[in-house]
Amino acid sequence: MNASKTPPQGPAAAANAADWRIDRERAVALFGAHAHDWPIEIVEETGSTNADLMTRVKALPRKAGVLPRPIVRVAYLQTAGRGRRGRAWYAEPGNALLFSVACVLPRPLEGLAGLSLAVGVALVDGLRSLPVAGPGQIALKWPNDVLLEGDKLAGILIETAWSTESASAVVIGIGTNVKGADELAAKIGALNADAPPQARGTVPTALQRALPNANLTDTLAAELNALEPALQR
């Protein structure tokens, strides 16, 4: 992962300067009535938003209702971002939406068997709610990938902080490639050059492929608005 904290340079970056950072006011205006109330933290850089929230919720009392609303933590850069099976998540600052949601659900761990699928379906619904070309081309590859025309658009990582007979604290990490598909594919290709085909995974793509003016703000609002009712259910 690129460790730079500065935004991408060059003519293309200058043309999209307004999209480099999340516009908090616009995001709040786009949030639905319920997601609007979620605490949302936005930081420049961290190791992993999942790890940050895991540390926090592990310190909570282990009982239902201890976290009235989910907490959202967004980072422009994750220096230790990871996906399923410990795979690294690579993203240039400003090109990917990287965030985690911490919540306490009123169910024991065995009652959360469908959580990954529910989150995946919600994520697909949220992305399809954007004015993308051919929304049907966005689909879920169970259990944790969202594809655009067969290429990887987003990934999901769900971790359990603790669980009791009445409640479970979980952290849901989501990474969505919004821009820079060509640069990302080149980076992943170079890293996988010596890896066997079966270990290379799905080719990455970006939302910009189906939505030329894709940006972090609208994508965040769309995904959180879709996650809120899914977590309620």
Return d(Cα 58, Cα 164) in angstroms, integer.
13
Going by pLDDT thresholds of 50, 70 and 90, the confidence category of residue 88 is low
Does pLDDT of 18 surpass 70? no
Does pLDDT of 12 surpass 80? no
Does pLDDT of 204 surpass 80? yes
Averaged pLDDT for residues 28-38: 88
38 lies in a domain?
Answer: yes
The encoded tokens of residue 192 equal: 């996988």
Q: What is the pTM of this model?
A: 0.84
Does pLDDT of 211 surpass 90? yes
40 lies in a domain?
Answer: yes
185 CB-side CA count, 13 A: 12
The encoded tokens of residue 61 equal: 């009392």
Share of the chain above pLDDT 90, in %: 67
Q: Mean pLDDT in the chain?
A: 85
Q: Do the beta carbons of residue 7 and residue 20 sit within 8 Å?
A: yes
Q: Do the beta carbons of residue 18 and residue 25 sit within 8 Å?
A: no
Averaged pLDDT for residues 163-181: 95
Q: Which domain holds residue 121?
A: 22-232
Q: Cα torsion at 231, 142, 172, 205 (round to 10°)?
A: -120
b/e map 49-85, b = 16+ CB within 10 Å: bbbbbbebbeeeebeeeebeebbbbbbbbbeebbbbe
Return d(Cα 98, Cα 111) in angstroms, integer.
27
69 lies in a domain?
Answer: yes
13 lies in a domain?
Answer: no
Averaged pLDDT for residues 190-197: 56
Averaged pLDDT for residues 126-140: 95
Q: Do the beta carbons of residue 31 and residue 221 sit within 8 Å?
A: yes
Does pLDDT of 89 surpass 50? yes
Q: The domain spanning residue 51 has which CATH number?
A: 3.30.930.10
Peptide bond into 143 cis (omega under 30): yes
What pLDDT is recorded for position 11?
41
What pLDDT is recorded for position 14?
39
12 lies in a domain?
Answer: no
Going by pLDDT thresholds of 50, 70 and 90, the confidence category of residue 90 is low
What pLDDT is recorded for position 36?
84
2 lies in a domain?
Answer: no
Return d(Cα 220, Cα 3) in angstroms, integer.
22
Total domains present in the chain: 1
Q: Do the beta carbons of residue 2 and residue 77 sit within 8 Å?
A: yes
Q: Do the beta carbons of residue 46 and residue 78 sit within 8 Å?
A: yes
Residue with tokens 């009445």: 166
Does pLDDT of 124 surpass 60? yes
9 lies in a domain?
Answer: no
Which of 38-52, 82-96, 97-111, 202-216 has the least mean pLDDT? 82-96
Q: CA Rg, the chain, in Å?
A: 17
What pLDDT is recorded for position 35?
84
